[in-house]
Amino acid sequence: MKPFTYSRAASLDESRTATTVAGAALLAGGTSLLDLAKCGVTEPEQVVDITRLDGLDTIQASSEGARFGALARMSRVAAHADVLANFPAVAQSLSLAASAQLRNMATLGGNLMQRTRCGYFRDPRAFPNCNKRNPGSGCAALGGVTRNHAVLGTSEACIASYPGDLATVLVAFDAVVHLGERAVPADDFFLLPGDTPDVEHPIQPGEVITAISIPGSAAAKRSTYLKVRDRQSYEFAAASAAVGLELEADGRTIRDLRVALGGVASKPWRSRAVEAELIGKSLTEEAVCAASWRAVDGAVPHGDNAYKIELAPRVVARAILSLGGLA
Amino acid sequence: MTPLDMPMKHGDAGDGASIGQRLSRHDGKLKITGSADYALERQFEHAAYAVLVPATIGAGRVVSVDTAAALAAGAILVLTPEDDLGLAQATTFTGQRPEGAFLPLPHEIRFDGQSVALVVAESLEAATEAARRIKVTYEAAPVTASLVQTPEDAGTVGEQFNVAWGDAQAAYADAPVKIEADYHTPREYHAAMEPHGLIAKWDGDRLTVWQPSQWVHAMARNYSDWFGIPMEDVRVVSPYVGGGFGSKGFNYGWEALVPAAARRLGRPVKLALSRPQNFNLYGGRASTRQTLKLGATKDGMLQSILLTGASETSTYGVWPEQVGAATPLMYGTPNYRGQQRIVQVNTVTPGALRGPGKAPSAFGIESAMDELAYAVGVDPLEIRLRNQPDHDRMSNKPWSTRRLREALTEGAAAFGWDKRPMAPRSMRDGHQLIGWGVATGTFPVIRNYGEAEIRVTAEGRVEVVSGATDIGQGTYTVLAQTAADAFGVPVDEVSVRLGDSSLPGSPVAGGSKLAGVMTGAVHKAATAAREELIGLALTHPDSPFHGIEANTLELKGGRLTPPRADAPNVTVAELLRAIGRDGLTVRRDTLPEDMQSPEERKRAWTTMTTAQGPTVGDYSQHSWCAHFAEVRVDEDFGTVRVSRIVSAFDCGLLYNPKLVESQWQGGIIMGIGMALFEEGLVDARNGRVVNNNLGDYLVPTNADVPEIQVISVGIPDTNASLLGGKGVGEVGIVGVAPAIANAVFHATGKRVRDLPITLEKLI
């Protein structure tokens, strides 16, 4: 692999400065960086290790809200009792992600920054055409093997799907990504590919993810993350749903509903249409199944991935119904 | 002990013998503690590291290779198609040696990822970076990426695979019930944890290669042929193997580059393939398709089977994945016709993967039998029992042992099959549709010759020495058990040395034959060593037994005792000390008298031409199995979870039931992968396998593996091997995929005829 220098950031400011240097990459858990360097996708000249920075791995959660330091490890957050009690979908999304070894290494900040699993993006030598890697070069995935490509939020330039689990939950519950002082809603932290699929986040040079916060809510407390895939472990979602539900005192009218989709879109995909359709209505199987189809409004298939348009609404419906005790 | 002494009971022996005991693997602790010295992990002073540069086109020609940037970046050697390496063609496993020079870096590109250069540097990282800077100019040609891109009549008929008896077409036309269906299996890969590769080191004109290998002798011959040096001057070392599954039995052309580089540089060179290269520098299981027509009576008695199939191979080598390998053996049909086409596509030449031919073959016939069962309304277990053949129609020979009926009935009883409702979609648990399926499998008994040495040390310990390899299946352990019994010492007094081509000869650890062959050779050598020792004890003037009135002595538990209790009783060590010997070495082979010449011995240890198929001799010999699977299919998501498997096997005598069960379970787990996950996804434009890594090429995780109950219904088959065992390593995978597919049908009412059964096929 390409030679690079390695240094350890002594302070958060030093890590911020590093991000202004062309060819520099921050190293946290390393599970993405090392993988992509081996693929030849990422070729840093300078690797700045931020894992020794103090105070960035805290985990706090209560009914009021949660705040996770950017360097908190996935496995620690997943097992945290207060997270399990107040944000079960967060814990589930982390437990169902990757493998035990990866979860022990990977950090939450790094998890948000993970890149797509598009096989064409990950194989520059065989497929030089990739607008995400090399803007303007085209998209090798179009006309290729597209079973796990996105059906929502794609563009002519890119049909890659966002593979992460946690971010799907964050988007559902209006989480905020903290870049030091600046706070960006999770939904805005992930950009649609449009004409610039190489730009995935609004993060600027000099900015580093420091924390993730999630406001507490009854829906977050009664939440679930349902991940559907062929293999029971260590596979990205064919489709997933992060759902939170709050019922009125009558026990059947939906007061609050949160729905986001994973594995089917170019970014973590909030389904506000499903939420709007059901809030204020009675929780019935019929209503939920009908409304869940709104989750794939505007979906466009690309060959092998057409099944996701069938599958995603079923996943949403099952997640809502299971929270409501109807599935 | 002779074969006649073997107890005739289910599988396990007993009587205090070591054979038949559930001993743990010799290499188990070494592996889990990280102390097994795998060939590729050897460290050498001054070693250099090599990386192969892959072609980025699927077909065409290399016009030029620009090495300047690589050399500037630290490459100390670059081999390209322009280099004359002075290599000769090597003898193939069929014993033929093609004429002419061998070019491991041909200009012509036949498949994506084919090597176009070898780059050597001071470290793996430096070699990787230098390799990246190689600039290759190509002339690209049109690509035929895989079998699915070819028409039905593509390729040529493999005449050697034609099988026919009766008049299958007429019988099919007349049959009251007809089934016709197409089945497809995709490209599958070995996905062994340990990558392929080698370390080559020259000492003058002598070459040593450390390489994960299922057959060190054949590889030594291969290097000797390539480099034009005597086989005695080549040593291939492979003490432990991190997964072979058929992929490490033969040399691949790119392997010649490493000793070539080592010779030019005058230092050891190591090459380990990257994970993506493990998907295109050697072949996995070829993709197959088959059309099956079954004609039957209304009560499900088969009248005719018609099979037309095809498998893909490369444009430069032939590997037939025989879709008819199991089909003619499983059922008693009076009429049969089978035919197979071989279709060239732009892939690396496919190869052997656990249960080659038999696994895709069984997917076809065992799915079709399930379809027939439903067409005639006969229980899928019952229809199999009704159609069991009384002899092998293909060879017209009796079965040596075929306890498939017992496997079906005992497996069904353990599974609780009698509670199965016939109708699909009749069992559920919430959203989970539950289904039960059955399918059978087979694998031929292949016999061959082996050689072993027994060394008795001054301390009375026994060392078994053989060049056979242990690829995780238990050669070390089972040969220690064999020697312990035949010589007469406790098994913990026996050590075993394997995996070195300078040691006595052995066939490939493949085709499920090594245990049968090598237990025979070790038994013979250890028996001869015991007889020699007893002879010395009775005749040597300094022996405590000298002059006693006995024709023989008993050697048991490491002690020599005469028939009369009042005579001396000494250990092997005491005897050797008394007669002034520091040990004893005996070498024996199982080759017949007319195969003792050096040429014949070389042929036996380095080609497959001395192997005897299942119908050589008076009988048709095979292992058999019946799998019963329970699946739970989510009615909305189409996800399939295997929740229970019971499998019953007839593999003859089990040398070590613990190891055998492990082999069976491993085969079944690979069968779960074949059924539900494994598929090389090939880009139609350039033939590249795009899921060429362990994150995207899915094999079962522990979470995907349910409780697996395995049952032995075998009895010793001494036609198959000296001690009565039949092969156990490959039969386990055969029939698993159709058992699961049949269970999926029972759960959902949907018949999936193309593997793997991924969720989109069920929603």
Give tens-digit pLDDT for B30-47.
999 999 999 999 999 999
For A143-167, what is the mean pLDDT?
98
ipTM of this predicted complex?
0.97
What residue spans of B540-678 are helical by DSSP H?
572-578, 598-606, 657-676
Strand, coil or helix: what is B405?
helix
pLDDT, residue B16, reads 58
> What digits encode the pLDDT tens for the residues A79-108?
999 999 999 999 999 999 999 999 999 999
Measured CA to CA, the distance from residue B219 to residue B249 in angstroms comes to 8
Neighbour tally for B635: CB within 10 Å? 16
Q: Which residues pair with B185 in a beta bridge?
A: B288
In this model, does residue A306 exceed pLDDT 60? Answer: yes
Q: Which among A1, A40, A126 has the least Cβ separation from residue B112?
A: A126
> What digits encode the pLDDT tens for the residues A14-45?
999 999 999 999 999 999 999 999 999 999 99
Eight-class DSSP state of B619: S
Q: How far lies B191's CA from each of B319, B321, B346, in Å? A: 19, 18, 21
Name the band, by pLDDT with cuts 50, 70 and 90, for residue B564.
Answer: confident
Q: Please choose, from the candidates B105, B177, B101, B109, the residue with its C-alpha nearest in 3D space to the C-alpha of residue B143.
A: B109
Cis bond upstream, residue B756 (ω within 30): yes
Q: Listing from the earlier edge strand, what are the strands of the sheet with A5-8?
A: A5-8, A46-49, A24-27
pLDDT, residue B551, reads 86
Give CATH 3.30.43 domain extents, chain A. Answer: 5-49
Architecture label for domain B39-142+190-279: 2-Layer Sandwich (3.30)
pLDDT, residue B548, reads 86
Architecture label for domain B156-188+284-445+615-761: 2-Layer Sandwich (3.30)
For B201-219, what is the mean pLDDT?
98
Residue of chain B nearest A128, judged by CA positions: B56
Q: Is there a contact between A7 and A50 (Cβ–Cβ < 8 Å)? A: no
In this model, does residue B4 exceed pLDDT 90? Answer: no
pLDDT, residue A327, reads 86
Measured CA to CA, the distance from residue B67 to residue B117 in angstroms comes to 9
pLDDT, residue B10, reads 36
Contact A145 B56 (CB under 8 A): no
Q: Please choose, from the candidates A50, A45, A47, the residue with its C-alpha nearest in 3D space to the C-alpha of residue A23.
A: A45
Name the band, by pLDDT with cuts 50, 70 and 90, for residue B683.
Answer: very high
Residue ranges per domain, chain B?
Answer: 39-142+190-279, 156-188+284-445+615-761, 448-606
pLDDT, residue B582, reads 96
pLDDT, residue B709, reads 98
Q: Which of B669, B690, B696 to mutate to test the interface with A (most CBs of A within 10 A)?
A: B690
Q: Is there a contact between B400 and B446 (Cβ–Cβ < 8 Å)? A: no
Of B66-75, B348-357, B454-463, B557-566, the range with the lowest mean pLDDT is: B557-566
Count the alpha carbons within 13 Å of B1 in the hemisphere toward its beta carbon: 29
Give the CATH number of domain A5-49; options: 3.20.20, 3.30.43, 2.40.10, 1.10.3470: 3.30.43
Q: Which residues of B are catalytic?
A: 730
Q: Which of B760, B761, B762, B763 to mutate to test the interface with A (most CBs of A within 10 A)?
A: B760
Contact A125 B54 (CB under 8 A): yes
In this model, does residue B11 exceed pLDDT 50? Answer: no
What are the φ and ψ backbone dihedral angles of B330, each rounded to 5 degrees?
Answer: -80, -35
Measured CA to CA, the distance from residue B508 to residue B266 in angstroms comes to 31
Contact A233 B132 (CB under 8 A): no
In this model, does residue B87 exceed pLDDT 70? Answer: yes
Strand, coil or helix: what is B179?
strand
Gyration radius of chain B's alpha carbons:
27
Measured CA to CA, the distance from residue A50 to residue A53 in angstroms comes to 6
Q: Please give the class, per CATH, of domain B448-606.
A: alpha beta
Helix or strand holding residue B526 (H, E): helix B514-539
- Per CATH, is A218-322 categorized as 3.40.1350.10? no
pLDDT > 70 in chain B, percent: 98
Helix or strand holding residue B200 (H, E): strand B197-203
pLDDT, residue B547, reads 84
- Give chain B positions within 8 Å (CB) of A143: 685
Contact A228 B698 (CB under 8 A): no
In the predicted model, what is the mean pLDDT of chain B? 96
Q: Is there a contact between B61 and B138 (Cβ–Cβ < 8 Å)? A: yes
In this model, does residue B1 exceed pLDDT 50? Answer: no
Name the band, by pLDDT with cuts 50, 70 and 90, for residue B334.
Answer: very high
For A147-165, what is the mean pLDDT?
98
Instruction: Say whether residue B72 is in contact with chain A using an 8 A CB cutoff.
Output: no
Token pair of A95 as six digits:
């437990």
- Give chain A positions within 8 Å (CB) of B274: 38
What are the φ and ψ backbone dihedral angles of A101, each rounded to 5 degrees?
Answer: -65, -45
Name the band, by pLDDT with cuts 50, 70 and 90, for residue B3.
Answer: very low
- Give chain B positions within 8 Å (CB) of A117: 695-696
Q: Which among B430, B636, B698 has the least Cβ separation from residue A231?
A: B698
- Give chain A positions within 8 Å (CB) of B686: 126
Contact A234 B695 (CB under 8 A): yes
Measured CA to CA, the distance from residue A95 to residue B585 in angstroms comes to 58
Of A234-243, B156-165, B546-555, the range with the lowest mean pLDDT is: B546-555
The phi-psi region of residue B604 (left if phi > 0; otherwise alpha if psi is between -120 and 50; otherwise beta) is alpha
Name residues whose C-beta falls within 8 Å of residue A8's C-beta, 6 or more positions apart in sequence.
A48, A49, A52
pLDDT, residue B193, reads 95
For B325-336, what is the mean pLDDT?
98
Residues comprising chain B, all counted: 763
pLDDT, residue B596, reads 97
Measured CA to CA, the distance from residue B470 to residue B449 in angstroms comes to 17
Residue of chain B nearest A102, judged by CA positions: B695
For B605-623, what is the mean pLDDT?
97
Token pair of B731 as six digits:
């039969």
Q: Which among B129, B637, B685 has the least Cβ separation from residue A3?
A: B129
For B419-428, what is the mean pLDDT?
98
